[in-house]
Amino acid sequence: MYKGDILHILDQYDYKILTKLMESGRVSFSKMSRDLKISDVAVKKRFENLISKGIIKKISVELDYKVLGIEGEILVFLKCEPLALEKNFNTLQENDFVKTAYKTVGDYNLVFIYLLKNFSQFSVLDKTIAKMNGVISSSLLIITKKVFDKNTIPKTSLQIYYS
């Protein structure tokens, strides 16, 4: 199996370890070993193997932006001249209010999520876009409610082997 192969083969233990980590990245190897009825060492080796295969990229913190005073998020769609894309990504990466940026194919070639401290901050977003090079067109979508944001393992696209 080569790196990047979408059909990573997981057994029941790897699948359960991943599921438990997605529920809580702070779950201990000891707790997982008790739940899975395997040793701490086995869980640790499987965890390290999942990292070495590139299946686990990182364990991270999920922030509640509302508690931090962020009122909302906006999806910003930009169509830029192709030669300006990399410079625009660099500009966005330096902006504290840009959460995520994507290179895309379709009507727009750059999409990013912008955090709004308050809804009067649209002028700051306008200035951010104005600083960017080669912007041909743009469109904004205000996210009014996150319906779900699931961390999932798509079972139908994976081969999971149970012994």
**What is the per-residue burial (b if ≥16 Cβ within 10 Å, else e) of 30-60?**
eebbeebebeeeebeebbeebeeeeebeeee
Which segments of the chain belong to CATH 1.10.10.10?
9-61
Average pLDDT over residues 25-51: 94
Q: State in words which class domain 72-143 has.
A: alpha beta
d(CA 100, CA 111): 8
Which segments of the chain belong to CATH 3.30.70.920?
72-143
pTM above 0.85, yes or no: no
Average pLDDT over residues 27-36: 94
pLDDT in tens, 114-163: 999 887 878 889 889 999 999 999 999 999 888 988 878 776 656 665 55
Residue in 80, 65, 83, 69 with CA at minimum distance from that of residue 129: 80
Element (H, E) at 127: helix 122-130
pLDDT of 74 higher than 80: yes
Q: Looking at domain 9-61, which CATH architecture does it have?
A: Orthogonal Bundle (1.10)
